[in-house]
Amino acid sequence: MTKTDFGIITAISCETTAVLKYLKATERVRGILPDIRDYFVGRFPLKGGKGYRLVVVQCTQAGNSDAGQAAKDLITRWNPNYLIMFGVAGGFSRGGIDIGDVVIATEIVEYDYKRYSTAGFQPRFRHHPTSALLLSKLNHVPAWNGSELQFEPSVYGAVAKPKLVKPGPIAAGNSLFADAVARDKLLSFQQDLIAVEMESEGVAVAAWQREPPMPVFVVRGICDLADGRTKGNVDEGLKGLRQKVAAMAASSFLFHFLKDEPVTPNDVPPPVGGTRIRVADTTTPKPLSETSTRKESFLNLKDSSVLTLIEPEPFIMGSYPEELGAYGFEENPDVPTELIAHTVRLDPFWIGKFPITNAQYRKFIEETGYIEPERWDDPNFNGPKHPVIGVSWDDAIAYLEWAGLRLPTEAEWEYVAYGCGRKPRLFPWGDSLPDDNFMNFGRFNRGTTPVSRYTRGTTPDNGIMDLAGNVLEWCLDDTRAYTPDEAFNPTGSLTSSMRAIRGGSFARPVNSCRASYRDRRFKKTRWGSSGFRPAYSGIINK
């Protein structure tokens, strides 16, 4: 059976109708208990006989809770490559948005989460990323203004005009906005919000619980201006008509976008042998004990990454003051302390033997049209076997969407670097203080170096290279506050504006290249020394 390309979630019937208008050979499929939902399965044809397979499901009620459950049910039954939250929304006119325009979420901002203090309830917005790869495709899609849509001008309360497509942060929560005062209060906390709706946060949470995280894309048509002016019996008929118009405008743009084939359809045959194959272990880890063994690896055919299986034992995450003091090292005062050593247990996972290289990233750019990173043309950094550098966390996520992989969590990264359950070590290779034969640090070189150059810096128990120095490596999560309690698969925040970044770089001193040293950066910034390493948690068939 052909795999599903896109799963589309709607909340009301006019949204579902607007989507189904574009599908061919649509079939209604009943859910299998305990799933009681109905799914609409259809095909959207593309050039050359290709096509996307889409599955559409409508929520049983509005709100993040049921939308999240609908997303989980859709993922379990159909396992699409992408989730699309589709429908109508209230727009914020500050950005020039009007009824009938289309908005695309660059991030989903959940606004119902609050902190209580003597000053009252204070919002604590939670930020969820949307598909960086699909967002990048918006820059290449042919112009669209909804000119093919024909509606009475009275629908808008004014003369109909060409539609806008505007990307930006979209708020999602379960609270209804009754008037402009409430809307403006929300905007006082985050002024760049462009719209508000009630389902996308639930979908995003469900998507990020999947392994690897499933990319989410949000397309909304504006049906009102979130000011309460469409409530009441007098306006109910006009409100319903505006919802229909907004849904049809959104579907017109969505399928205009998909027609441009932003990602390869699943009906294009995959490489012979599948997408991931096991490979013979070519690492030569240094003996740590008589029980040391070679590690199983697989080759990800999409991007040629080699990933090594890690089967974790309980380990001590963090460090001890006396350990750092003996060497004159210090922790980073700008992040949560590393000086709370605690036991951590992890599920098995796979991690890249090397950071992603320029050659791999170039293939990604050529296939997707994605933006080039910082220093792409600088000869000190752009060697094909050098790690890609100058990428944001969002850029890393876009690459890994394309490759079918993910980032390691901060705990997974530290486990590999710190000793894999054995005696914690200062550096990935052991406790020996480094010189420029172990890693690229302290500006011994003018830029980055090939990822396989420093064999003396290889981890002795699993053959992972270049963990220290050369390039900072993004982690999936933000830095969490350590506690003395044992932790199982711990993660920091996945909804903050920052992310953990580990390993030091070619320009950093030796202290920041330690296995337990913590650092963090704003995830949307293309730091001049930031790169990344892939990870995966799925099962690899023999």
Contacts for 441 with CB less than 8 Å, ≥ 6 apart: 434, 468, 469, 470, 504, 505, 506, 507, 508, 509, 510, 513
E strands, 59-137, in order:
82-91, 102-110, 114-117, 120-123, 126-129
6-259: CATH, from 3.10.150.10, 3.40.50.1580, 3.40.630.10, 3.40.50.2300: 3.40.50.1580
Q: Given this model, what pLDDT does residue 176 score?
A: 72
Taking only the tens place, the pLDDT of each residue in 503-518 is: 999 999 999 999 999 9
Class of domain 285-315+341-542: alpha beta
Rounded to an integer, the average pLDDT of 487-499 is: 92
Rounded to an integer, the average pLDDT of 329-340 is: 94
Q: Given this model, what pLDDT does residue 422 score?
A: 62
Phi, psi of 18 (to 5 degrees): -65, -35
What is the rounded average pLDDT for all residues in the chain?
87
Chain position carrying tokens 């109909």: 160
| 3-state DSSP assignment of residue 503 | coil
CATH 3.90.1580.10 boundaries in the chain: 285-315+341-542
CATH 3.40.50.1580 boundaries in the chain: 6-259
> Count of CB atoms within 10 A of residue 537's CB?
14
User: The tokens of 344 are what?
Assistant: 């951590």
Question: H-helix or E-strand containing 54?
Answer: strand 51-58
Contacts for 140 with CB less than 8 Å, ≥ 6 apart: 260, 369
Find the range with the poorest average confidence among 175-184, 211-220, 342-351. Answer: 175-184
C-alpha distances in Å from residue 43, one per residue of 15, 220, 339, 512: 17, 21, 55, 51
pTM above 0.95, yes or no: no
Rounded to an integer, the average pLDDT of 356-366 is: 97
CA 513/CA 527 separation, integer angstroms: 17
Buried b (16+ CB within 10 A) or exposed e, 304-334: ebbbbbbebeebbbbbeeebbeeeebebeee
Centroid of chain to Cα 192: 21
